[in-house]
Amino acid sequence: MTSAFKLNPKTLFQLFIFLLPTQLGYHFWPQWAYVFGIRVDYLSPTIFLTDIIFGIFLLLFIKNATKEIRAGLLKVALVVALLAIVNIVFSSSPPTAIFKWLKVAELSLLVFVVARQKGLNFSSWLVKPLVTSAAVFSAIGIAQVLKGGTIGGLLYYLGERSFNTSTPGIALWSFWGEKTLRAYSTFSHPNSFSGYLAVVLILTTHLLLKGKLSKKYLPALFLVLSAFLLTVSLAAIVSLAAVSFGYVLVRQGGNWTKKLSAMVLVGLVVLSMAMPTFAKSFYKDTNTFTESLSKRLSLSISAGQMFSERPLFGIGLNNFIRRLPQDSGIMPAIWWLQPVHNIILLVLTETGIVGALILVGILQIALTKSLSNRRIGVYLAIMFILFTGFLDHYWLTLQQNEMLAAGVLGLSLRKKTG
């Protein structure tokens, strides 16, 4: 470990950022990671390469930190531990909750470290590895679309799964009457890949428009944009269009932008809470909607049932899938073991009103501070995460997206001089 402390923090952090799109990790498969005898990735405790790199960076951060920062770090750890203990006690499956709370602790520490790391500047610490990495993994996604399947080879160790256009359950879209593969790259689904790429585009394009990003990055950003479009993720495309329009409004400044942010956040929370009731009202039979929408509505109904049982502290973090067979909505859950596709509703179900209030409070602080410090790119990235999180769960369930979201929150909480 002594040699690790000799590493340059900036270089180590840049390596962490560059490898964020990878999924190289070791999965553990305890009995509670199975449902109906089926392995469920969301339940499997996993140690990723990016976890190890961040762990080394964290040790280096603690070694060089002041007493004040160490005290702050300890407070974060104690708060997370207190919330975890309460939630685990009330959980349906304590082991499942314990390992997810360890992930929450890691993400919380990442937020703190990014917010307090001395000298961490987005332009000098993050742009090059973030854009270069996004371009490389975008090229992989584009190549998959052109080939119609997996590239293979060493990419398997970075997280690329084996598939082609004939693989059952693979995400396709119709192009000129032909079924075409959507871009996956090393992500588990094109939707999570699109969310990742969009946040990169939002953060870097803002710098480009301000003249703080060299035009030498334009070819890389064009590659990223191309891969983003090839994910054919409607939610991400619409959300990116919305925040692009929001950029024009936010540039005008004024206190009304903070009020608008609060209204949008509250509106999304209210709509998320109403989703189970909405689903029950509009879901009449399985032929009314497409299969995908029917499944999402069914998951929302299940979330409402679970929340009604334990509204204050929830059913336990990461317990949604384990409870799904007992509280399935209208459609059988056995072939779609997924979290509910709404991050607010997922948090509300698994951590109750207490956890949801904490999350909303953190998001409001992050939005307010990023606006106050004129970090418009960071502000729009958080808004994008909220919009896409209204229709999907990957910001809370998949390693690459979780880490990126935590990093964005950390940037929003940095002091203006950071």
Task: Give residue 5's pLDDT band: very low, low, confident or very high (50, 70, 90).
Answer: very low
Identify whether the C-beta of residue 35 lies closer than 8 Å to the C-beta of residue 324.
yes
Q: Which amino acid is located at 399 in the chain?
A: Q
Closest CA to 328 of 300, 286, 288, 349: 300
Give the per-residue pLDDT at 260.
Answer: 83
Distance CA 395, CA 88 (A): 22
pLDDT in tens, 10-39: 999 999 999 999 999 999 999 999 988 889
Give the per-residue pLDDT at 146.
Answer: 94
Q: Which amino acid is located at 406 in the chain?
A: A
Pairing verdict, β 178-181 and 172-175? antiparallel
Give me the DSSP letters along 221-276.
HHHHHHHHHHTT-HHHHHHHHHHHHHHHHHTT-STHHHHHHHHHHHHHHHHHHHHH
- For the beta carbon of residue 222, count every other beta carbon within 10 angstroms: 12
Non-local (6+) Cβ contacts of 250 within 8 A are 257, 371, 376, 379, 380
- Residue 175's alpha-carbon distances to 59, 139, 145, 227, 270, in angstroms, are 49, 20, 12, 16, 37
Identify whether the C-beta of residue 19 lies closer than 8 Å to the C-beta of residue 152.
no
Helix locations, 283-342, DSSP H: 291-309, 320-323
Give the per-residue pLDDT at 418.
Answer: 41
Percent of the chain with pLDDT over 90: 66
Task: Give residue 414's pLDDT band: very low, low, confident or very high (50, 70, 90).
Answer: very high
Identify whether the C-beta of residue 412 lies closer than 8 Å to the C-beta of residue 382.
yes
Work out the end-to-end distance of the chain between its first and last CA atoms, rounded to an integer number of angstroms: 29
Residue whose entry in the numeric block shows the structure tokens 């929370």? 269
pTM of the predicted structure, to 2 decimals: 0.93
Give the per-residue pLDDT at 4.
Answer: 45
Would you say residue 2 has pLDDT above 80?
no
Identify whether the C-beta of residue 226 lies closer than 8 Å to the C-beta of residue 193.
no
Task: Give residue 169's pLDDT band: very low, low, confident or very high (50, 70, 90).
Answer: confident
Residue whose entry in the numeric block shows the structure tokens 């950003």? 221
Instruction: Work out the average pLDDT over 129-156.
Output: 94
Closest CA to 341 of 288, 407, 292: 292
Give the per-residue pLDDT at 408.
Answer: 97
